[in-house]
Chain A
Amino acid sequence: MGSIINAQQIINGLQLGSIYALIALGYTMVYGIVRLINFAHGDFYMIGAYAAYGAFFLFNAVLGGAGGPMAVATLLFAMLAGLSIAALTNRFAYRPLRYKPKLSSLITAIGVSMFIEYVFSATPFIGASFRAFPAIIPQSLFKIGSATVSNYVVIDLAVAGTLMIGLTVLVKWTKLGKAMRAVSQDKDAARLMGIDIEKVISATFMIGGAFAGAAGLLAGMTYPRIFPYMGILPGLKAFIAAVLGGIGNIPGAMLGAYIMGLAETFASAYNSLLGEGIAFAILILVLLVRPRGLLGEKTADKI
C-alpha cells in the first residue's frame, strides 16, 4: 500500500478535491435553502469551462498574449457565465415550481440538465466533440520532496481556498449570509421577518453558479479537455461529496469534497474500475450508515 498512498497522490487528491469542493458548495447551498438537488449544477460547471475557453480566445485576440491579468479576467468571465446561467435556470425553471410537489422540481432539474447538454452539443460551433483547453498560464513544474508539483496545483488550491474563505465570511458576517441562514432554517418565519425569500434564493443560486463556473475553468486548465457532457460525472461526485459531508452544511461540503478527491485518487491508483465506482460505493455506505453525513445535524421527522 505504501506505493499507493504517497505525497504525489495526496497532492493530486487535494487538487481534485478543490474542484469538487467548488461544485459541492453550490449543491449544498441550494439544497440547504430550497431542498432541491439541482441536477443541472454539473452543467453550470461545464458552461464555466466553455465560457473560459471562449473568453481566453476573445481576450487573446483583442489584447494579445497570455498572462496573469488575463487569467484573472478569464476567471471572472467564467464565474459570470456560471452565475448568469444559474440565475436564469432558477428564474425560469425552478421558481414556477416552488410550491408544487418536490419531485416535479427534481424532474425539471433533470430536464434542464439534459437541455443544456444537448443544446451545447447541437450548436454547430460548439459540437459534441472534445476540445483541447488552452494553457491560460504557462505550466511550470517544481519538486517538493519526491513529488512533482505543477503551478496549476497551487493555483487550484489558492483559487478554491480564496473562494471558500470568501463564502464563509459572506455567510457568517454579512446581512445576505444571515438571510440565507434564516431562510434555510425556516422559510415561513424568514418571510415574516421581512426577508425577500426569492431574492435570497436567487442570490444563493448565483453564488453556487459562480463557484461552479470557477471550478469549470480550473478543471479545464488542470485536465485540458472539455466537452458538453463533462459536467455529469464531476457533478454527481460533487453531490455525493456534499451528502458525505452532510448536505446543507457548508464546511461539510468542503470536507466531503476533499475526502472524495483523495479517495478517488487513491482508488484509481489501485485499480481503474475501483476509481470509477468508489464514489457510488461511498454514497451507498454513507446513506446506509450515517444518512445525515459527517457534519450533518440530526433532524427529527416532523409529523
Chain B
Amino acid sequence: MEYKPVLQTLKRIGSWIVFPLLSVGDIVGRKTGRNMPRLTLAALGIYLYIYVLGSTGVFNGYVMHIINLSLIYVALAASLNLINGITGQFSLGHMGFAAVGAYVSGTFTTLLFKLNPSVPGAYLVFVGAIVAGGVAAALMGVLIGFPSLRLKGDYLAIVTLGFGEIIRTILNNISYVGGPRGLLGIPKFSNFTIIFAAAFLTILVIRNLVHSSHGRAFLAIRENELAAELAGIDTTRYKVLSFAIGAGFAGVAGGLFAHLLQMAHPTQYGFMGSVMVLIMVYAGGVGSLTGSIIAAFSLTFLSEGLRGVLDGLGELTNLPLGDLRMVIYALLLILIMLFRTEGLMGNKESKLLMLPEDKR
C-alpha cells in the first residue's frame, strides 16, 4: 500500500476539520473561562477525524474495529477508575457489571428482533436496551456496594471477585441465555458513533463528578475515610453511589461490547477480563482519566499487534506462542507495580479534563 496519499489525506482532513474546531473551542473557552467548550469541540474534532478516515477507507474495517474496542475499554477503565482510583475502593469484578449490561440489553434486542425484524425506530430501541442494561448494572452496583460498607481493601477485593465469579457461574447455568455456549445472534447495532458517544459521555460525567461536591466526597474517602466521616461525609452513601455509577457505565460498555461482537460469552466477563481493565487503570495511573484513556488505547492496540506478530511467529516456528501475549501482559503489570507504582500518568490529568483554575 502506498502510504503517501494516505498521509496526505490524514493531513488534509486534520487541517480542515480538527484545527478549526480546536481553535474555536480555544477561543470560546478563553472567553467564558470554562473548559467545557474546549473539551466538547476537541472530542467532536477527534470524532469527525476518525469518522472521515473510516468512511473514506483510510482506516480499514479492522482498524476501526480495534478503535471501537479501545473506546469500549476507555469506558470500562474510566468507570473502574471512579471506583478504584477516585473513591479508593478496590473492585475486582468490574466485568461482572459489564456482563449484566451485555446480557440484559443483548437478550432484549435479540428477542425483539427475532419476533419482529422490522421494528419501527430500531435504533432507538437499541439505545433504550443499552440504557436498560446500564440501569440493571447500576442496581447490581448498589447491591454489591453494600458489603463495601463493612469491608476494606483486600477483603473488598475478594468479595467483588467472588461476585464476578457468581455472575459468571449463573450465566453459565441459565440455558435461556445460551449457558456455556453464550448468547448468540445479537443484532449488530454498535457502531463508531454510538461507542464514541458512550465513551465520551462516561469521561465527561466522571470528570464533572470529580469536580462537584460529590466528587470531593469521593476523593476525601480515598484520602482518609475516618477523617472524611468526621468531616460529616456520609461515607456509606458515597461509596454505594460510586459503585452504582461505575457499574452503570460498565453496564453500558458491556451492552455496546455485546452488540459489537454480536455475541456475549460468560468467559469474556470472567476474572481475566476484569484483570485486563484493572491493568489499564493501574498502567494509566490511579485516579487519572487521561491515563485510563491512553492506557486503554495503547494496550488494546498492543494486544492486537502482539496477536498478529505472535501468531505469525507461531506459524513459522510451530509453537503455541499465542499464550505469550498474556505472559507479556502479566509481566507488564508486575513491572509497572515494581518500578512505577503510580502508573504512567500518576495522579496527573490532561488540562482538558480539569477545571481551568485547578492546578495539580
| Chain A minimum-CB-distance residue to B310 | A122
Once A277-B166, A284-B159 are accepted as A-B contacts, the answer to whether A108 and B334 lie under 8 Å apart by CB is yes
Given contacts A37-B158, A101-B341, A280-B162, contact A119 B327 (CB under 8 A): yes
Q: How many Å lie between the Cα of A119 and that of B162 in the bound state?
A: 25
Interface string of A103-114 (1 = CB under 8 A from B): 111111011101
Q: Which residues of B contact A124 (CB under 8 A)?
A: 319-320
Instruction: Please give me the residue from chain B that is nearest to A127 by CB atom.
Output: B320
- Classify chain B: how many residues form its interface, as a range: 35 or more
| Stretch of A92-100, A145-153, A209-217, A219-227 with 4 or more beta carbons under 8 angstroms from chain B | A92-100
Q: With a CB–CB cut-off of 8 A, which chain B residues contact A103?
A: 90, 153
Flag whether B257 is at the interface (Cβ < 8 A).
no
A280 contacts B147, CB within 8 Å? no
B11 within 8 A of A: no
* Contact string against A for B residues 214-245, beta-carbon threshold 8 Å, 1 for contact and 0 otherwise: 00000000000010000000000000000000
* Contact residues in B for A119 (Cβ distance below 8 Å): 327
Q: A104-B341, A107-B282, A273-B169 are in contact. Are A287 and B157 (CB under 8 A)?
A: no
Chain B, Cβ-Cβ closest to A113:
B330
Please tell me if the beta carbons of A280 and B90 are within 8 angstroms of each other in the complex. Answer: no
Tell me which residues across on chain B come within 8 A of A297, comparing CB atoms: none
| Contacts A127-B320, A276-B169, A277-B169 given; does A110 touch B333 at CB 8 Å | yes
- Chain A residues with CB under 8 Å of B338's CB are 93, 96-97, 108
Q: Is A121 an interface residue (CB 8 A)?
A: yes
Q: Is A283 an interface residue (CB 8 A)?
A: yes
The dominant DSSP class at the A interface is helix
Q: Is the CB of B337 within 8 A of A273?
A: no
Main secondary structure of the interface of B (DSSP, over half): helix
Does B201 lie at the interface of the complex (its beta carbon under 8 Å from any beta carbon of A)? Answer: no
Chain A residues numbered 232-265 whose CB sits less than 8 Å from any CB in chain B = 232, 236, 239-240, 243
List the A side residues contacting B331 at CB < 8 Å.
Answer: 111, 115
Query: B194 at the A/B interface (Cβ < 8 Å)?
Result: no
Which residue, A102, A110, A232, has most C-beta atoms of chain B within 10 A? A110
- Which of chain A's residues has its CB closest to B334's CB? A111
Judge whether A300 is part of the interface by a CB distance below 8 angstroms: no
Is B329 in the interface zone, CB < 8 Å from A? Answer: yes
Give the residues from 293 to 347 in chain B that come closer than 8 angstroms, CB to CB, to chain A.
319-324, 326-327, 329-331, 333-334, 337-338, 341
- Set of chain B residues within 8 Å of A193, measured between Cβ atoms: none
Nearest-Cβ distance from residue B179 to partner chain A, whole angstroms:
11
A111 & B333 in contact (Cβ 8 Å cutoff) = yes
Are A287 and B159 within 8 A (Cβ)? yes
How far does the Cβ of B328 sit from chain A's closest Cβ, in whole Å? 9
List, in ascending order, chain A residues with CB within 8 A of B159's CB: 283-284, 287
CA distance A273 to B171 in the complex (A): 11
Give residues of chain A (264-303) contacting chain B, Cβ–Cβ below 8 Å. Answer: 273, 276-277, 279-280, 283-284, 287-288, 291, 303
Given the interface contacts A106-B154, A239-B158, does A118 sit within 8 Å of B327 by beta carbon?
Answer: yes
Chain A positions within 8 Å of B166 at CB level: 277, 280
Selected contact of B275 from candidates A110, A127, A291, CB within 8 Å: A110
A103 to B154, CA, bound (A): 8
Chain A hits for B162, CB < 8 A: 236, 240, 279-280, 283-284
CA distance A118 to B276 in the complex (A): 14
Q: Does B136 belong to the interface (CB within 8 Å)?
A: no
CB A205 to nearest CB in B, in angstroms, measures: 17
Decide yes or no: A118 and B330 within 8 Å by CB, A37-B158, A287-B159 being known contacts.
yes
- Return A110 CB to nearest CB of chain B, in Å: 6
**A155 near B: Cβ within 8 Å?**
no
- A128 close to chain B: CB less than 8 A: yes
Scan B130-169; emit 1 where CB is below 8 A from any A CB, else 0. Answer: 0000000000000000010011011101110111011001
Smallest Cβ-Cβ distance to A271: which chain B residue: B173
Residues in chain A near residue B353, CB distance under 8 A: none
By a CB distance below 8 angstroms, the chain A residues around B165 are 236, 280
Q: How far is the CB of A125 from chain B (nearest CB, A)?
A: 10
Chain A residues lying within 8 Å of B163, measured Cβ to Cβ, are 280
What is the minimal beta-carbon distance from B190 to any residue of chain A, in angstroms? 29
Interface residues of A in 10-53 (CB under 8 A from B): 36-37
Q: A273-B173, A287-B147, A287-B155 are in contact. Are A118 and B323 (CB under 8 A)?
A: yes
In the complex, B278 has a CB within 8 A of chain A: yes
Q: A112-B330, A236-B161 provided; 7 other pairs, C-beta below 8 A?
A: A122-B322, A122-B323, A124-B319, A128-B323, A232-B271, A277-B170, A279-B162
Q: List 26 A-B contacts (CB under 8 A).
A: A37-B158, A103-B90, A105-B337, A106-B154, A107-B278, A107-B337, A108-B334, A108-B337, A108-B338, A111-B330, A111-B334, A114-B272, A114-B326, A114-B330, A118-B323, A122-B322, A127-B320, A239-B158, A273-B173, A277-B169, A279-B162, A280-B165, A284-B147, A284-B159, A284-B162, A291-B155
Identify the B interface with A (CB < 8 A).
90, 147, 150-151, 153-155, 157-159, 161-163, 165-166, 169-170, 173, 226, 271-272, 275, 278, 282, 319-324, 326-327, 329-331, 333-334, 337-338, 341
